[in-house]
Structure 1
């Protein structure tokens, strides 16, 4: 079957490690099912895999991709939940494309419990954006950030998948949303999504109860300064640097919670889709590429000039 996969590891030039060609179709073990993929979407996780982060050379070739929507074995339209229970992993789970073949292929096999019904109101393109970035943002806001107790939210580094999702979701939940971006054009687009856009490090008119943090070192000090007493700073990544300053006096005097968050559950994915349909909101899509253009899609992601999700249409 046609697939996009890591055929090598290249920390300096990840696209050199990307191959597109025919691989054997997955053989699902007991309790697993196979989904015919109609659309998938890219994440920075895919570039990290090509660099060898979380993907050692002894697992190559490895089909990339965490996100997918398609047709389940019973003919239903479904969305694939990418988190697989894995006692051998220190996290207790692994993601598709780490130990098990991913979604950038004609078919993907997953545990039966990882197949979630797709609402009729969501297209395959929209649904394919949700299982990683949008689910991560949803869990950060709800389960970890307790956004229902908040009035204002700060999202650092809006423009990427998780941050843009957090802006849209928090605004749809009726919160006052502030979002930062270094790019003036992205700040205009953020404002159009319902947020007050500010430059990185800019002063806010109020302190916020929830901070969505995926940038790391360049923004973390600002995140602490903007946090109200008892606020939750929820961290899902560190694209700008892994080592961030932690102002311990501010943490204990303001009684801040610094919380890690990663992905979400299948039940949270179903709740996220219900919310999108109920509030009539849709994922922000940067661009849609035919599967034959997968290299162009990866190159766009690596360049970083992205606003929203990059989607692969597996039907062309």
Structure 2
């Protein structure tokens, strides 16, 4: 079967470690099922894997990809939840493409409990965007950030998958949303979604109750200054640097919660799908590629110019 896979680790040129070609058919562990993949989306996790982060040499070659939607052996359309219980991992879990082959292939083996029914009104391309970035954003907002108690949300660094998802989801939940980006073009796109776009570090017209933080050191001081008393600053990454300076006086005086967040639960994914159906909100797709152009899809992701998700459509 066709697949996109890592053959090595290259921290400086990750795409040099990528290959697209034939791989053996899945050999499911007992009780697992094989899914016919219809669409898959890329994440920064895939580039980190090619750099060797979390993917040691003894697991190579490894089919990449965490996110996908497809069809199960009974003909049901499904979305794949990519988190797998894993006693060998210190976290007690792993993502597809870390210990088990990933979703950037014509077929992938998964445990049946990882399957969630795809709503009929949601395309395979849209559904494939959800299991990592959109699920992470949803969990940050709903569970960690308690956005139901909030009126206003700040999203730092809109453009990437998680931040753009957070903008769209917070708006769908009826919140006032502010979003930063260094790129004027991305600020225009944010405004088109319905958020108030501002330059990094700019003063907001109000303090916010929830901050979605994936940039890290360059924006963290601004995140704290923009927070209401009792606000939640939810952190899922540090793309701009992980050694942020924290003013502890502001932290305790304003009673701020700084919360780490990673992915979300299978129940979160089901709830996210329901939200998209009820509101009509759809994932922001930066670009879609056929499987023969997977290399171009990775180049697009690595460029940093994306706004939304990069998707591989296996039907084209």
- The bucket for the TM-score relative to the shorter chain is over 0.9
Give the Cα–Cα distance (whole angstroms) in 1 for the partners of residues 223 and 73 of structure 2. Answer: 45
Deviation at 1:48, TM superposition (A): 0.4
Q: Please give the root-mean-square deviation of Cα atoms over the aligned residues, in Å.
A: 0.7
Match of 2:269 in 1: 269
Give the Cα–Cα distance (whole angstroms) in 1 for the partners of residues 31 and 244 of structure 2. Answer: 42
Deviation digits for residues 195-219 of structure 1, max 9, x if unmatched?
1000001100111110000111111
Aligned residues: 316
Deviation digits for residues 212-243 of structure 1, max 9, x if unmatched?
00111111111111111111000111111121
Give the Cα–Cα distance (whole angstroms) in 2 for the partners of residues 92 and 167 of structure 1. Answer: 31
Match of 1:11 in 2: 11
**Secondary structure of the equivalent of 1:246?**
coil
Give the Cα–Cα distance (whole angstroms) in 1 for the partners of residues 246 and 86 of structure 2. Answer: 32
Match of 1:281 in 2: 281
**Secondary structure of the equivalent of 1:19?**
strand
Which structure 2 residues correspond to residues 224-303 of structure 1 after superposition, within 5 A?
224-303=224-303
Match of 1:155 in 2: 155
Match of 1:45 in 2: 45
Deviation at 1:28, TM superposition (A): 0.7
Match of 1:315 in 2: 315
Give the Cα–Cα distance (whole angstroms) in 2 for the partners of residues 271 and 251 of structure 1. Answer: 32
Give the Cα–Cα distance (whole angstroms) in 2 for the partners of residues 135 and 267 of structure 1. Answer: 10
Q: Do residues 96 (structure 1) and 100 (structure 2) align? A: no
Match of 1:200 in 2: 200
**Secondary structure of the equivalent of 2:100?**
coil
Match of 1:210 in 2: 210
Structure 1: tracts of 5 or more residues without a match: none
TM-score by length of 2: 0.99
Q: Do residues 115 (structure 1) and 98 (structure 2) align? A: no
Deviation at 1:26, TM superposition (A): 1.1
Q: Do residues 138 (structure 1) and 138 (structure 2) align? A: yes
Give the Cα–Cα distance (whole angstroms) in 2 for the partners of residues 136 and 40 of structure 1. Answer: 17
Give the Cα–Cα distance (whole angstroms) in 1 for the partners of residues 195 and 223 of structure 2. Answer: 16
Give the Cα–Cα distance (whole angstroms) in 2 for the partners of residues 25 and 209 of structure 1. Answer: 48
**Secondary structure of the equivalent of 1:177?**
strand
**Secondary structure of the equivalent of 2:15?**
helix
Deviation digits for residues 14-58 of structure 1, max 9, x if unmatched?
000001111111111112111100000000100000001111111
Q: Do residues 36 (structure 1) and 36 (structure 2) align? A: yes
Deviation at 1:90, TM superposition (A): 2.1
Give the Cα–Cα distance (whole angstroms) in 2 for the partners of residues 177 and 125 of structure 1. Answer: 26
Deviation at 1:190, TM superposition (A): 0.0
Deviation digits for residues 69-95 of structure 1, max 9, x if unmatched?
000111100000001111222222111
Give the Cα–Cα distance (whole angstroms) in 2 for the partners of residues 14 and 269 of structure 1. Answer: 30
**Secondary structure of the equivalent of 1:89?**
coil
**Secondary structure of the equivalent of 2:218?**
coil
**Secondary structure of the equivalent of 2:55?**
coil
Give the Cα–Cα distance (whole angstroms) in 1 for the partners of residues 229 and 111 of structure 2. Answer: 42
Give the Cα–Cα distance (whole angstroms) in 1 for the partners of residues 157 and 47 of structure 2. Answer: 19
Q: Do residues 79 (structure 1) and 79 (structure 2) align? A: yes
Give the Cα–Cα distance (whole angstroms) in 2 for the partners of residues 306 and 47 of structure 1. Answer: 14
